[in-house]
Amino acid sequence: MSFTVAIVGRPNVGKSTLFNRLVGRRAALVADQPGVTRDRREGAGRIGPLRFTVIDTAGLAEAEASSIEARTQRQTERAVGAADVVLLLVDGRAGVTPEDAHFARMLRKTSAPVVLVVNKCEGGAGLAGAFEAFGLGFGDPVAISAEHGEGLGDLYDALAPFARDADDAAAARDDDVNNRPLRLAIVGRPNVGKSTLLNRLLGEERAVTGPEPGITRDAIDVEWSWKGRPVRLVDTAGMRRRARVHEPLERLSCADARRALDYAEVVVLVLDGALGLDRQDLTIGRRIVEEGRAIVVALNKADLLDDKGAALAALRRRLDEALAQAGGPPVVALSALTGRGVEGLLPAAFAARERWNRRIETGPLNRWLEEVVAAHPPPVVAGRRLKLRYMTQIKARPPTFALFASRPAELPVSYQRYLANRLREAFDLGGVPLRLYPRAGKNPYAPKDKKRKKR
């Protein structure tokens, strides 16, 4: 294992659940009560290609020196001392507690780097706690759900820089996005040509192909280089509607394909040009957007179309309507069988990743906000116009923004869509999902008025 990760936090925030998720099995006991874990537990952790030793620890709690809680805490302190990186886990639903703040101060005194992880954020339930966690002073928190396996791609990005071997180090240079492998997943319905496309890109018969649907069962992970740039390419099994999946093996294959989305940066949605865009294609596309991944649409078998230009125009219109949150994903017409048009796929994927990782400085962002609000002010609600005070980008991958407003709960969804669309146009963010969270509060960077002391 290239490095060691210790999971710490107050009791019952989900440390053992995260440990089990990382080692891939139920190695640690999990119960809905604090204090279940007492001893350190080590295991071989894995997130995608990243390998490390992970340590599950007892919940941090203040206790008397002779108590069993104090002895377990000493085990936790030893784990922190032996770790290359510490994951400080907090409960997103409960928010930051005084215990979290106390032990955050304790961890600042250690030499180990700390990554702040906010658990129980499935379905947006813990996002309020994630924003609150900024105040602990450990930078951008990583929002996850250990129980449901959400946010592991972001956790991968946070841990990758600590890998020591040459391959992991090359994959983890976050200061230059072009130096790390593009994590690219190929998904789609059965028999649309995913494996044929993989073989065409690699220039060899890496995956078994044929006219029968469902040939691919496991997600095929291939390390590859395109024009000197590393790519980690994953071909997945065809994803059908759940109602049509009856065989246990196909259920496992579909689950494996869905997990591939968790680790991807860019997802290529392959469509059958002869059949067009159907409901299952849109279901897969919406799942990609919900996972927050950049999307590129590959229209396969385009050489069989009578009028390719008209078909592309119709496809783009429907994608703009059905996948509005993706903001007009790029469409590449190609033929995986003959190779025509395939050369345009990787440039589109790298460009999508660049937009997906993009950060916008606060100054230009707020100057843009003033312009769009002046052109189209927020609506009047209950006789008072809503005020948009300030906007800032709180994270990338995908680009996520906090919008401070006078009454955020009353800001219409239609106006939020207007802002998102104008944001894409102004900063070239097409093809990636944007997340905009209205928040109450004043501009945190505005000068504060000093109250005059009464005499």
Q: Domain boundaries in the chain? A: 4-167, 180-356, 362-440
Q: For Cα atoms 285, 291, 296, give the angle at the middle one, nearest 5 degrees.
A: 45
Per-residue model confidence as pLDDT tens digits over 209-252: 444 444 444 455 677 888 889 998 877 765 655 545 445 544 55
Q: Which amino acid is at 45?
A: G
Edge-to-edge, what's the strand order for the sheet holding 294-300? 220-226, 229-235, 182-188, 266-272, 294-300, 331-333
Q: What pLDDT shows up at residue 218?
A: 44
Indicate the burial class of 67 (C-beta count within 10 angstroms; 0-12, 13-18, 19 or more): exposed
Q: Are strands 182-188 and 229-235 parallel, antiparallel or unpaired?
A: parallel
Q: Which amino acid is at 276?
A: G
Q: What pLDDT shows up at residue 257?
A: 61
Q: What pLDDT shows up at residue 448?
A: 57
Q: What pLDDT shows up at residue 255?
A: 59
Positions in the chain short of pLDDT 70:
1, 25-40, 59-75, 124-125, 164-179, 205-221, 237-260, 441-455
Q: What pLDDT shows up at residue 37?
A: 39
As a three-state string, the secondary structure of 40-88 is CEEEEEEECCEEEEEEECCCCCCCCCCCHHHHHHHHHHHHHHHCCEEEE
Measured distance CA(130)–CA(140) in Å, rounded: 9
The fourth-level CATH superfamily of domain 4-167 is P-loop containing nucleotide triphosphate hydrolases (3.40.50.300)
Task: Give CATH for domain 180-356.
Answer: 3.40.50.300
Sequence-separated (6 or more) residues with CB below 8 Å from residue 381: 407, 410
Task: Give CATH for domain 362-440.
Answer: 3.30.300.20
Q: What pLDDT shows up at residue 234?
A: 79
Quick check: do 180-356 and 362-440 share a fold? no
Q: What pLDDT shows up at residue 249?
A: 46
